[in-house]
Structure 1
């Protein structure tokens, strides 16, 4: 159907969302949407995204899959709810002082990263889950960042862009790290063991690339978690440096 034909048919049906649909009443005393989401999170954290199914979740809850569908329409909605539950773990600074905007942004960004890394399965679904940004915890984060950059002196439209830039950096870095941690978990080794086993192959592959060889030599023997933390903080500082040029007049 062309845009003109769509316009002639009148307004389109609003997109449905788990965040705006009324909750179903309880079918049995022990079953609620909150309990379903909590158990789904335990399953996701222990076994990963591929292990999640409505049937398996129902078995763990002692209920049929049909009972779960009274609370969530499908597995995608369930993951959307689980993602927002994770976002509820993010620590939001309480300060309202415009002068502390950079420290507050740093604290929030670090907490967002740490939260994502506690649940590395999120790397495979973040950005694909419909309207997860409409969840109350996701909106709490968005509201905080908008208020922070507005108080710091940015107009509303630019504050929104600044918040999006910051979140994009953190989620991009954390998603890559989470994917790496998923691989690490499957290897059965500690991070130090895993990285040490990779060095000979990496160094051999980099023989024709002098800058890479130099970089590898500097990193060899360094604690890999410390290196990840430093790399994240370097990029975060540069993002905030850029935003600071827009805030200081």
Structure 2
């Protein structure tokens, strides 16, 4: 509960990027080799391996082989570190306009894009960002990498991969402002892509919300499902068969299960990964088609101004 005394001190600091203590240099009595980048990288590793609920400054200090007070020299609170970690993983995204859309690979310490994709391939079968881009170009009628549709799909696929590789990210989105340098670059790139879609200014934020809220929900569920399967010691396909078998045996669920069989068969795909990819691709196609329909219906900036002039 926020007390009157707390309010009198001013509003709570909204972000580590807005005035929090972030110290990059070490004191002479601090452990050699310890710095903020290493602390942030260790935070990401712990969050990936143990999850958000188990993360603590004490656990982080043990991982680094230092005292908790050594960590507090660099940041004020655990929340500060969570914000820094959140922005660090956003640095894994490939953004349009960078070298081969590869991003600044050294901006995330030793976690470069190549290794991120390798990890994703290990967890996701044959799904990687390169194949996603190939599919995007096929669906876009051979449009080049500079086309806004291809770029939007690329950003969507990248954001989804972040949510899947790092399931702890989704609970933090909205808790923090997420205005670190990597997140701001991603937001700017997304806005630039949407401007090239020729939607009017009043509709561009809605277009971005439609795409990235969908990706957020899809990637969050996917990431949690992967974790659930891993905790159960099963592959995704094994878990899926186990769950479907259990549903088919329950009288209260049997009718719903049987009705869903035709839809699932029509969707196609022999594995959970394949079914998921088909759903994601089709849903994203629908969203992009909606943006195109809005533009073609005369709601682009030039048509809108012409209509206002009575032409």
Q: TM-score range by the shorter chain?
A: 0.7 to 0.9
Question: Aligned pair count?
Answer: 238
- State the alpha-carbon separation in 2 of the partners of residues 18 and 26 from structure 1: 19
Name the CA distance, whole Å, in 2 between partners of 1:148 and 1:220.
31
Change (3 A) 1:149 1:68: same
Distance of aligned partners of 1:232 and 1:161 in 2 relative to their CA distance in 1, 3 Å threshold: same
Moved over 4 A (4+): 9-14, 216-221
2:283 match = 235
TM-score where L is the length of structure 1 = 0.84
**Residue 240 of structure 2 is aligned to residue 207 of structure 1:** no
Q: Map 1:45-56; keep pairs closer than 5 Å.
A: 45-56=48-59
Match of 1:135 in 2: 180
Q: Distance in 1 between matches of 2:204 and 2:145?
A: 13
Q: CA offsets per residue over residues 100-135 of structure 1, 9 Å max, x none?
A: 111110111111112221122334x23353222x11
Partner in structure 2 of residue 37 of structure 1: 40
Could you say which residue in structure 2 is the equivalent of 1:6? Answer: none
2:218 to 173, 189, 198: 173
Structure 2 residue aligned with 1:224: 272
The alignment partner of 2:53 has SS state of: helix
Q: Assess if the C-alpha contact under 8 Å between 1:149 and 1:163 holds in 2.
A: yes
The aligned residue for residue 83 of structure 1 is: 86
**Residue in structure 1 matched with residue 198 of structure 2 by the alignment:** 153
Query: CA shift at 1:207, angstroms?
Result: 2.2
> Relative to structure 1, is the Cα distance of residues 163 and 180 closer, same or farther in structure 2, using a 3 angstrom cutoff?
same
Match of residue 229, structure 2, among 181, 184, 190: 184
Alpha carbons 1:49, 1:121 under 8 Å: kept = yes
Q: C-alpha separation between the residues in 1 aligned to 2:85 and 2:150?
A: 29
Query: What is the DSSP-based 3-state SS (H/G/I as helix, E as strand, rest coil) of the residue aligned with 1:120?
Result: coil
Q: Distance in 1 between matches of 2:9 and 2:293?
A: 43
Three-state SS of the structure 2 residue aligned to 1:166 is helix
SS in 2 for 1:208: helix
Shift of 1:16: 4.3
Q: Distance in 2 between matches of 1:128 and 1:109?
A: 18
Name the residue aligned to 1:5: none
- Say if 1:71 and 1:99 are closer, same or farther in 2 by CA, change over 3 A: closer
Give the TM-score normalised by the residue count of structure 2.
0.69
Deviation at 1:12, TM superposition (A): 5.3
Task: Kindly indicate whether the alpha-carbon contact (under 8 Å) linking 1:121 and 1:182 is maintained by their aligned counterparts in 2.
Answer: no
